[in-house]
Structure 1
């Protein structure tokens, strides 16, 4: 674990450029965990024997109804629902869970990976119904920061605004993990170091192996860069979002939307948030396939179509 004190806190500064490889690697992680979701670290998931829409309980290895899923996860304090960012079916599953929980939980709040923390005032205005969609997209610099098609998230964000649900930005400024990947935490200027989470946990061997497996898939190109720096970058990413969850949870129930790569096997955001809050949590992972012999990836696997969709 790396710890930082309040003496490290300074204003933010922009970083001019990052290496191409760092950007490509982190984009691969961002899309939703690459190909390693429900098959265990280093193991690809086979095609599912179940039809899309089936929800599998990790506890029993058997399908459960949507109603049973909701009855179970609503007993937690934090619920993580993953996604492959470009898969519209995953976002439909997220919306279905959001609506069901909102009908039953009076103090429901939402946290999203898609926004970095400096944009919290914009999210507050959105949740209060004070911003148009056009203004929201512009003020969050959606396409400069997140880049994925807004229409993939439109239904989720519209519902949050319509129902006046508090929405929280979980992420760090997007250039910082890329900078860490390129040169390590020690390479950061004080401005960016100030944005890091107070604690960064680097001692989870399973998580390290998961990132190592992805790193190794880049072949000889990866040898030009330090795996330790890439691993630090991933942990910065996970820990800042975990820290954000702990800041905003309070005595409420939080529904978190993040890429599958950040919730798989719980060693990303979920376990790190638990270290900070001790609040019980559940994980739901939409995916096109799962390994019946290894359901450790999430508490529930939600089978979705095996394709990405471009919204029209």
Structure 2
């Protein structure tokens, strides 16, 4: 059995972001700030990362923050559940707020209809268990997104619940973009006002990567994907219209942000004057591609998900059946 002193030490032994945390019955623990050495880091565990400039040069956190001083939006792509990427996101937010407190955190992981719940948590009106349940937090919230939200809470930053509700987007994936015309006015407002499905480099990339069935089904899935992108982009732009002096750091899946497509292009379509910076994760075990417009975050590549083809097929089958009992407005 652990005694209280051992528990407190265990909780904070390996955390690496700059923050002072106190738990009931525990002594305050000062946690070191992100490393600023210009020497490339050794990436040997799933907690390690190295930030790379668009010119393929290793960067320090402070160097990156100097680079993006005039940016309005920083889009941080992720492989969901990757410990090193989530560690970087928290390191970035903590380092950024030390340099400029005029920040806001925007998240794919919370939806517009739950903004009030997120605000209540930040204000200390509800506890974390209530936040997780009432805001439909992702299953990996405690391990991957808690650190980000807690930094925002301690530093009194706004947190944007930027995304579209999953139920509605799932119905779009099932029935097509015309589904939005059936929504009541209140629910329609939880999605972007404008959702563009026009041909684009993004659409071409999505269709090339699709495993959703025939062309019609792929088109419906693309409509769902774009609904996410457009809604997150609109959430960010609307926030900056009200708070033009703020800088927004937004977390989302890699596909939503890389190469200036997805959310980035949707932001600039609405507000061409904004400066948008993109960070995308890459496998540290692979050679860097030629210079990119994105900053890259080198991390260990994800483990192989399937060895046997039949296991992969079974997984895709399960995914395809997950919305069989979905209730959509007729």
Length-normalised TM-score, structure 2: 0.70
Cα distance in 2, alignment partners of residues 254 and 76 from structure 1: 9
Contact 1:93 1:286 in 2 (8 A): no
1:301: which partner in 2?
A: 296
Cα distance in 1, alignment partners of residues 88 and 146 from structure 2: 14
Contact 2:203 2:222 in 1 (8 A): yes
1:114 Cα offset (Å): 0.4
1:263: which partner in 2?
A: 257
1:201 Cα offset (Å): 2.1
RMSD, aligned CA: 2.2
Contact 1:180 1:187 in 2 (8 A): yes
Residues 211 and 291 (structure 1), Cα distance of their counterparts in 2 relative to 1, 3 Å cut: farther
Counterpart pick for 2:222 among 231, 235, 249:
231
1:295 Cα offset (Å): 4.5
Provide the aligned length of Structure 1 versus Structure 2.
251
2:158: which partner in 1?
A: 166
Cα distance in 2, alignment partners of residues 286 and 224 from structure 1: 29
Give CA deviations for 1:36-77 in whole Å, capped at 9, x if unaligned.
xxxxxxxxxxxxxx845222111x222222221111123201
The 5-angstrom pairing of residues 44-55 of structure 1 reads 51=43, 52-55=48-51
2:248: which partner in 1?
A: 254
Q: Secondary structure at the match of 1:273?
A: helix
Give CA deviations for 1:210-241 in whole Å, capped at 9, x if unaligned.
111121xx2xx612843222221111111011
1:65: which partner in 2?
A: 60
Matched, 1:130 2:125: yes
Counterpart pick for 1:292 among 288, 300, 310:
288
Q: Secondary structure at the match of 1:258?
A: strand
Contact 1:111 1:257 in 2 (8 A): yes
**Greater relative contact order (Cα 8 A, min sep 6): structure 1 or 2?**
1
Larger radius of gyration: 2
Length-normalised TM-score, structure 1: 0.74
The 5-angstrom pairing of residues 68-79 of structure 1 reads 68-79=63-74
Contact 1:129 1:164 in 2 (8 A): no
Q: Secondary structure at the match of 2:139?
A: coil
Counterpart pick for 1:190 among 179, 183, 186:
183
- The ranges of structure 1 where at least 4 consecutive aligned residues each deviate by more than 6 angstroms after the TM superposition are none
1:140 Cα offset (Å): 1.0
Q: Secondary structure at the match of 2:78?
A: coil
